[in-house]
Amino acid sequence: MVASNTAQPDQLLDFLGSLELERGLSRNTLEAYRTDLLQASAFLAERGRLLETAGRDDLGAWLESLASGGPDSSPASASTLRRKGACLRTYFKWLRREEIITTDPMRDVRSPSRDKRLPKVLSREDVSLLLAQPDVSTAAGQRDKAILETMYACGLRASELTELEISKLDLEEGTLRVIGKGRKERLIPIGRTLCLGGLA
């Protein structure tokens, strides 16, 4: 028998209703759950399986297919994979709680991780070209050069640079106090060249 290309309609509605009642989830979140479950159901239907009777290998294969992508789709991001895996876990826990299934196939399924790519960095030559761009014969050029040199020499994120305050700069001590991610503060030593040429 070929499976339907959707989860059992009444069962899916009951599951979403329980999420709305017990967790107070928003309509957008509930719609995301519904979409994820229907997508998993469609994948499993091609394998002749129903979502509710799918095994660990079936569900793992769906997540792997998302991680790999295909001719018409790009590989899913790590956050998307985590979300869809969490959706399946929540659904199968509910199925077991409702005694619709006796074992949870998602118990031993790990969401596939995407390879983390190292960030691209500028070469030393690229940095030299970038720092040489501002026209230091103008006030705006001097400002731009100071911004670029500060960002490069101190290893600042763009957001950290834009939030810098003059009160956080100590030219005598040669330090810069920066507020980073999570409002964490760090003290960065700055070189004499930057003090004299970039920030003075």
Mean pLDDT by 10 residues, the chain (200 residues): 50 90 86 93 91 89 88 84 91 92 86 58 83 91 85 81 82 81 79 54
d(CA 178, CA 191) in angstroms, rounded, equals 16
d(CA 200, CA 193) in angstroms, rounded, equals 10
pLDDT of residue 125: 87
pLDDT of residue 4: 41
Q: Report the predicted TM-score, pTM, of the whole model to 2 decimal places.
A: 0.52
What fold characterizes domain 9-97?
Answer: DNA polymerase; domain 1 (1.10.150)
What count of other Cβ atoms lies within 10 Å of the Cβ of residue 113?
10
- Cβ pair 114, 100 in contact under 8 A: no
Strand order in the sheet with 185-189: 169-170, 175-179, 185-189
In one-letter notation, the amino acid at residue 6 is T
In one-letter notation, the amino acid at residue 187 is L
pLDDT of residue 117: 58
pLDDT of residue 36: 94
pLDDT of residue 2: 34
pLDDT of residue 114: 52
The tokens 């960065």 sit on which residue?
188
Q: What is the 3-state secondary structure (H, E, C) of the chain?
A: CCCCCCCCHHHHHHHHHHHHHHHCCCHHHHHHHHHHHHHHHHHHHCCCCCHHHCCHHHHHHHHHHHHHCECCECCCCHHHHHHHHHHHHHHHHHHHHCCCCCCCCCCCCCCCCCCCCCCCCCCHHHHHHHHCCCCCCCHHHHHHHHHHHHHHHHCCCHHHHHCCCHHHEECCCCEEEEECHHHCEEEEECCHHHHHHHHC
Domain ranges of the chain: 9-97, 124-199
Quote the tokens at residue 170: 């100590």
What is 124-199's CATH number, 1.20.1110.10, 3.30.2010.10, 1.10.443.10, 1.10.260.40?
1.10.443.10
